[in-house]
Structure formats: structure tokens, C-alpha cells
Structure 1
Amino acid sequence: MRDMTTPVLLGDFKIDPVTQVLIRTTDNQSVKLSRSESLIICMLAKQPNVAVSRDALLEDCWTGKVVTNSSLTVAIKHIRSAFSELGADDVIVTEPKKGYLIRLSSVEELKLEENNKSNASEKPPANDPTDSHTGHATPVSPSKTIITKAAVLSHLTQASKRYLVTALTFTLTIITLSQMALFVESTQIDHHRVLYDGQVMPPAVIDAIKATPDPKSKFIAYPLGGICDDYQLIVIDNKAGFIDITSQIEQGNCRG
């Protein structure tokens, strides 16, 4: 893994793994995260747009602790909420059967690349650019500077257009699923459609879904984590809206 003491820049955001704060650099608005959540962002930022497996995240972001898949699921939800609070709703993406990734647009990738180059250039140069005979710095050709700026501007313009098209395409989906970003997989149980996190649901949750008489109902099965791996079960009714039927699940009591 990368150095976990250096702040990581992600487009308009910065995560400081030492203070465990996610910051929007445009106005310095921030959200406090846990250590594990900060490490997850740092690990995903190492290779933007490349999925990192759940097992790798559990192993590297909870060092020395025994945790379950539910712990990672809850941590990812908190990270998504933090980005959403700072105005970004689709940064953390779930790749079914693969894991999670940080999605960066072309513009954000360019910013990240420039920041990485800037950090690398902080080391003293090997050769002194001054003229050894005159003691004056060798001037840089103005034409080279103009060409470089034009190339960057052209890249930013093209990237902005691609990003705008993508954003418009997914706007309705983001609005509809902004509160259900965690539930990226769906299954059928007795003709009921169930949105869930891809993990095996306990028999008690499945029985509660089967006990619902309306075959057109949709469900959200959400793992709350903890010692018992309890679940919250929500029915999406076209007329009544969201109905919490968690009390109908016979989850037992293992908290003593």
C-alpha cells in the first residue's frame, strides 16, 4: 500500500489519513471519518477506476482486527454519505463480484496526475539550470509554454464534454438511487424483487420476505452489522411508500 500519512488528492477532494478528514478543496468544507474509512479511500485512490476486492480492503484497512463483510458494507455506506454531503454522489462505485472502486472523470484524473507530478518535482533537481559561464538562468522558449497550455486546455475541454454527457445520462438514476447506493444487486424471492448488498441473507430475513402476500412488493434488505449481523427490512409500496417491517424478522437476541 501507499504511504498512509500523506494527504491524497482526488479531483476537488482531499483525504488526510492522519486527521481522518475528507475535505472539499474548493471551499474547505470537511467531514470526519473513521481510520478504516480513511484507509479505504486511500487504498481505492491508489488506482482510480480499478476495482479493489472486499477481501483486500478488509485485510489492509482493519489491521489487527477481526471484522466481517458487514463492517466493510457499513464503512462504504459512510464514505458515500460523506462524499454526498460534500456534493459528490457517485464517487464510490460497486463492481459486482469484484469489489469497490473510486470513479474519477477524465478531468479529475488529469488533476490527480498533475498533483502526483508536482509532489515528485519537490525533490531538488539533479542539475542546476543556470548557465555556468554567465551565472544567469537559461530562458525557456515562450512558444513551448504556449503549446503546452493549449494542449492542456484542449484536453480539459474534451474531457468536460464527455463528463457532461455521462452526468446527464445518469442524473435520473442518481436521484432515484441516491438513498439506496449500497444496494447494487437484486434477486427474486417468491416473485418479490429484493435489493441487497450481494451477501447471503439469513433464513429469517428470507422467511419474512416470503410471508408478504403482495407479489408486486419490492424490498430493501440492509445489514446493520454488529455481533448478531442483524438486518433491516424495508418494503417499497407504490401507494404507502417505504414501510419498515424489521420487527417482523425473528432475529433473536444475542446481546445478553
Structure 2
Amino acid sequence: MRDMTTPVLLGDFKIDPVTQVLIRTTDNQSVKLSRSESLIICMLAKQPNVAVSRDALLEDCWTGKVVTNSSLTVAIKHIRSAFSELGADDVIVTEPKKGYLIRLSSVEELKLAENNVSNAVEKPPANDLTNSHISHATPDSPLKTSITKAAVFSRLTLLSKRYLVTAFSFTLTITTLSQMALFVESTRIDNHHVLYDGQIMPPAVINAIKAFPNPKSKFITYPLGGICDDYQLIVIDNKTGFIDITSQIEQGNCRG
């Protein structure tokens, strides 16, 4: 495993495993992470675009601690939220039956889009030279023609860069939704439709779903992590929206 004390650069982002802070280098905006979450990013950054198994991440990023698959699931969720808060939504990718990877190309595309916008804003100072000579130009002189072309080109450049950023944001959104579709699995329990993370649900969660009085309801359940492997259970109601019924799961008194 790589040195876990040296900051790692990922396009416009840097993760410092010592301070456990994810930083966007373009403006120094940052998000605080846990030690395990920082180590996960460092480990995935060792081989960008190559999936690392869940077992390997659990073994190397929680040294000396006994953890479960749900702990890794929650950690990945926090890492994705951190990147999303800093403007990148598809850096951490789930590879079904393989594990997780860092898609570095997405970070590099984001850097390219931001640099293009900044370059377009920085171009206008070239007009300072032409402005100093504009009083000497005749209506039909080549100088006036070049000034007009430069102004039109500058405006078209700004418009094209704005379109590029909009198109790029749309692409990120579509990619994120497709990755979520790969990550979430569905099943049926007593005619109830259940969305979950693909891990085996504990009996307490299954019993709570079976005991729900409304037939053919829709549920979302996912692990909260911790020592006891607690789960959250949410009902999707067509009239009232989302209803949290986690309290109806008999998960005992232990909390991680």
C-alpha cells in the first residue's frame, strides 16, 4: 500500500491523509473526512480507473478495527457527498461485483471546462492595445476591421464556453444517475417492492417490512454502519412522500 502521509493530487483536487481534508485546488474549498474515508481515496488513487475490491478496502483502510460491509458503504456515500459538494459528482464509481474505482477522466474534464471559462474571461485585455490606436483608424481601415473581428470572436468564445459548462453539467448528472441505477438493487418481500444496496438484509428489517399494514408498499432500506450494523427503513407514500419507520425495526439497544 502507498505512503499514507503524502497528499495525493487528483486533477483539481487534493486529499491530505494527515489532516483528512479533501481540497479543491482551484479555490482552496475543502471538506473534512474521516481517516478511513481519506485512506479509501488514497488507495483508489493509486490505480485510477482500476476497481479495488471491497475486501481490500476494508482490510487496508480500517487497520486494527473490526468492521462490516455496511461501514464501507457508508464511507463511500460520504466520499461521494464530499466530491459533490466540491463540484464533482462522478469521481467514485461502483463496479458491480468488483468494487470501487476513481474515474480520473471526469476530474480532468471538469478541470478542462473550468480552465476554458477562465481563459475566455482573461482574453479581453488584448483590446487595451487596440483602444490606444482606435482614434487613428479610418472607417474602412484594416485596424477597425481587426478590432470588430476580435470583439465578435471574444463574444462567441464566451458564449461557447458557457454552453460547454452547461453541457458538461448535464453529462455529469446523467452519468451519476446511471451509476446509482447500477448500485441500487430491488427485490420483493410479501408483495412489497424494496430498494436496497445489494447486501443481505438482517431478519429484523425483513420482519418490519412484512409487518407493514399497507399492501404492495414501496420501501428503501440501507445500512447506517457502526458496530451493530443498524439499518434505516423508509416507506415511499404516494400522498405524503417519504416516511421514516426505522423505529419499528427491532434492532436492539446497541448503537455503533
Q: Verify the 8 A CA contact 1:77 1:182 in the aligned structure 2.
A: no
Aligned residues of 2:36 and 2:61 also touching (Cα < 8 A) = yes
RMSD of aligned residue pairs (Cα, Å): 3.2
Displacement, 1:183?
5.7
Contact 1:53 1:99 in 2 (8 A): yes
Matched-pair contact (CA < 8 Å) for 2:90–2:175: no
In the alignment, structure 1 residue 168 sits paired with structure 2 residue 196: no
Following TM superposition, by how much is the alpha carbon of 1:168 offset from its aligned partner in structure 2, in angstroms? Answer: 3.2
Separation (CA, whole Å) in 1 of partners of 2:107 and 2:33: 26
Determine if contact 1:182/1:197 at 8 Å carries over to the other structure: no
Q: Report Cα offsets for 1:139-187 as digits up to 9, x if no partner.
A: xxxxxxxxxxxxxxxxxxxxxx8x987853562574x799x79962222
Residue equivalent to 2:62 = 62
Instruction: Identify if the C-alpha distance between structure 1 residues 165 and 95 changes in structure 2 by more than 3 Å, giving closer, same or farther.
Output: farther
The structure-2 alpha-carbon separation of the partners of 1:187 and 1:167, relative to structure 1 and needing over 3 Å to count, comes to farther
The percent of aligned pairs where both chains have the same amino acid is 89
Distance 1:41 1:204 in 2: 33
- The whole-number CA distance in structure 1 between the counterparts of 2:239 and 2:45 is 42
Aligned to 2:195: 195
For 2:221 and 2:103, the matched residues in 1 are separated by 25
How far apart, CA to CA, are the structure 2 residues paired with 1:168 and 1:36? 31
The answer to whether the 8 A contact 1:30-1:86 is kept is: yes
Matches of residues 1-256 of structure 1 in structure 2 within 5 Å?
A: 1-105=1-105, 108=108, 168-169=170-171, 171=173, 174=176, 184-254=184-254
Q: Specify every segment of 5 or more residues in structure 1 that has no aligned partner in the other structure, as ranges.
A: 112-160
Give the counterpart letter for 2:173 in structure 1: T
Q: Against the structure 1 CA distance between its residues 215 and 12, is the aligned structure 2 distance closer, same or farther, given a 3 Å change threshold?
A: farther
Normalising by structure 1, report the TM-score.
Answer: 0.69
In structure 1, what is the equivalent of residue 160 of structure 2? none
Q: How far 1:92 moved relative to its partner?
A: 1.4
Q: CA deviation at 1:29?
A: 0.3
Distance in structure 2 (CA, Å) of the matches to 1:193 and 1:89: 28
| Counterpart residue type for residue 69 of structure 2 | N
Residue identity opposite 1:196 in structure 2: Y
Distance 1:86 1:106 in 2: 13
Shift of 1:192: 2.5
Q: Give the distance between the partners of 1:218 and 1:164, measured in 2 at CA.
A: 34
Gap change, CA 1:110 and 1:50, over 3 Å in 2: farther
Provide Cα deviations, 1:65-121, integer angstroms capped at 9, x if missing partner. Answer: 22211221221121112112212222212222211111222672898xxxxxxxxxx
Aligned residue identity for 2:57:
L
Asked if the contact 2:37–2:75 (Cα under 8 Å) also holds between the matched residues in 1, the reply is yes
Could you tell me which runs of 5 or more consecutive residues in structure 2 were left unpaired when the two chains were aligned: 112-163
Deviations 1:211-247 (A, max 9, x none): 3344543211121222322211011222211100112
Letter in 1 for 2:170: L
Question: What CA deviation, in whole Å up to 9, does each residue of 1:31-79 have, x standing for no partner?
Answer: 1111111110011111222211110001111112222112212211211
Deviation beyond 6 Å, 4+ runs, structure 1: 163-166
TM-score norm. by structure 2 comes to 0.69
Q: How many residues align?
A: 205
Q: Is the partner of 2:188 in helix, strand or coil?
A: strand
| Distance across 1 between alignment mates of 2:88 and 2:221 | 25
**Per the alignment, in what secondary structure is the counterpart of residue 83 of structure 1?**
helix
Q: 1:254 to 1:15 in 2, by over 3 A?
A: closer
- SS of 1:105's equivalent? helix
